[in-house]
Chain A
């Protein structure tokens, strides 16, 4: 018996190609460079009002706020720094709900939201709020008619994510914003996967609260932002973290100047380079898909084909289980919607919400391209996936039954466990 688990590595090896940009992104070296002075010689507390150390730090955080606001068509004063999108989402939803409690008790969100939105809503349900969890259509988008029907005069806030982290689909933000504004309901959007990837404009889209994560757009980890509309209409919210009253009293705590500067620089770069970057990523995505479809049949792309960011692909490789597929592509760092990669043994709740059949959900991979992806990497990734899928299909009993024996899998009496 041998209980010693060892890493699946032998001799010194090359690191796998990083294709998991929806999990996190590397910090852009230009971002790091902008941050460095604020760790060492410019270490002042941005809230110190009495000396140069404080003044220069405050100035830097103000500049960062402007860059962040610029990316989403807001004003610097609307930006609240947080520790990340999880905190931003919690502050937006719990903060608004709690401030308007007594007058309004209803929240609308969607089943494919990030866990931090869903769990914040669950928490509010224990607190007496009613939550409507909108389903999604087979393409991963919400049904606007259903949203309109779900709004009542008790609805305090609608929280619908801009871009889904698993399948990359873009929700119809402008339509949702318009509807919410007409009905006098605040609209919050979790834009962790959208900021810096698609054009966002809080005015044109009638967005009242918007969450940003630093590390999803080539900024540092440990920082995020929440846009909170100050007028037309003004959004009020109750703080979760109390203390020195920083950030308009909405989020106390000393600002981490280097992280603020990093997030600001990341937003500035994203705004400057978004158009070019999206063109490049679209061409890589198309190349990748073409290479795969030339060599493999039975691929299913999960989520809407048009309304999606170019840097994400969620593909089901029918008849091949996701975790074993990942074990066969050790040269690629990707993630899987398969149950076997998670402790829960449940396949992705997002894919299930789309109505993706469970057997296909088990076969899905999320592939994320990004700023530092190269064409060579795209080609190598495609080649590696093709080889792995081909090998695993050759040893898949389902492939054999369907493709060689012409059996309809639905006619088999399976012994589930």
Chain B
């Protein structure tokens, strides 16, 4: 398979590989995909008090397109607020990396990972407010 230079750049020099502390309630973690399907993405965001994503990390088991898609996703997430992040579309990732048609699902997986990370963060926040409520 031949790939675009953008894709190869993200594959060869992946941005933001690593992990954030799952236990931190400012951190949202998304784990999507399945080993049997050949791709699993773990994408994490850390959101500051202003609601802005100040850090994003990923680890991906998958093909070159999956790794590049998650690398690009973390790069784009940094500095965005949550509603901007929720609006990131798989088509933006697919277009930027010029994904071949059979690899479009990699960008869909990246979008799913972003959504899952945001949902996890929001759930943590709502738990925090409900558990803090009686004390207040």
In the complex, chain B residues whose CB is within 8 Å of the CB of A321: 38-39, 61-63, 66
In the complex, chain B residues whose CB is within 8 Å of the CB of A415: 32-34, 112
In the complex, chain B residues whose CB is within 8 Å of the CB of A323: 1, 63-64
Tell me, yes or no, whether B3 is within 8 Å of chain A by CB.
yes
In the complex, are the beta carbons of A395 and B60 less than 8 A apart?
yes
Interface string of A1-17 (1 = CB under 8 A from B): 11111111000000000
- Chain B residue nearest to A338 (CB atoms) is B38
In the complex, are the beta carbons of B59 and A417 less than 8 A apart?
no
Q: How many B residues have CB within 8 A of the partner chain? A: 42
Tell me, yes or no, whether B41 is within 8 Å of chain A by CB.
yes
Tell me, yes or no, whether B134 is within 8 Å of chain A by CB.
no
In the complex, are the beta carbons of A414 and B67 less than 8 A apart?
no
In the complex, chain B residues whose CB is within 8 Å of the CB of A71: none
Q: What's the nearest-Cβ distance from chain B to residue A33, in Å?
A: 36
Tell me, yes or no, whether B48 is within 8 Å of chain A by CB.
no
Q: Given A394-B17, A397-B59, A417 and B37 touching (CB < 8 A)?
A: yes
Q: Which of B80-88, B98-106, B124-132 contacts A (4 or more CB under 8 A)?
A: B98-106
Tell me, yes or no, whether B36 is within 8 Å of chain A by CB.
yes
In the complex, are the beta carbons of B33 and A324 less than 8 A apart?
no
Q: Which of B14, B19, B33 contacts A400 (CB 8 A)?
A: B19
In the complex, chain A residues whose CB is within 8 Å of the CB of B33: 414-417
Q: Given A324-B66, A359-B36, A397 and B60 touching (CB < 8 A)?
A: yes
Q: Which of A345, A359, A394, A396 contacts B102 (CB 8 A)?
A: A345
In the complex, chain A residues whose CB is within 8 Å of the CB of B14: 395
Q: How far is the CA of A323 from the CA of B100 in the complex (A)?
A: 14
Q: Which of A7, A324, A409 contacts B64 (CB 8 A)?
A: A324
Q: How far is the CA of A394 from the CA of B39 in the complex (A)?
A: 15
Tell me, yes or no, whether B117 is within 8 Å of chain A by CB.
no
In the complex, are the beta carbons of B3 and A8 less than 8 A apart?
yes
Tell me, yes or no, whether A148 is within 8 Å of chain B by CB.
no
Most buried by B among A396, A397, A417: A397
In the complex, are the beta carbons of B32 and A4 less than 8 A apart?
no
In the complex, chain B residues whose CB is within 8 Å of the CB of A2: 4-6, 96, 98
In the complex, are the beta carbons of A396 and B61 less than 8 A apart?
yes
In the complex, are the beta carbons of B4 and A395 less than 8 A apart?
no
Q: What's the nearest-Cβ distance from chain A to residue B44, in Å?
A: 10
Q: Which of A3, A338, A357, A396 contacts B59 (CB 8 A)?
A: A396
Closest 5 pairs (CB-CB, A-B): A414-B34, A359-B35, A397-B42, A340-B63, A358-B36
Task: Give B residues with C-beta under 8 Å from A.
Answer: 1-6, 8, 11, 14, 17, 19, 31-42, 58-67, 95-96, 98, 100, 102, 105, 108-109, 112
16 contacts between A and B (CB under 8 A): A1-B95, A5-B100, A6-B5, A8-B3, A321-B39, A324-B66, A327-B63, A347-B38, A357-B36, A396-B61, A400-B19, A414-B33, A414-B36, A414-B40, A415-B34, A417-B109
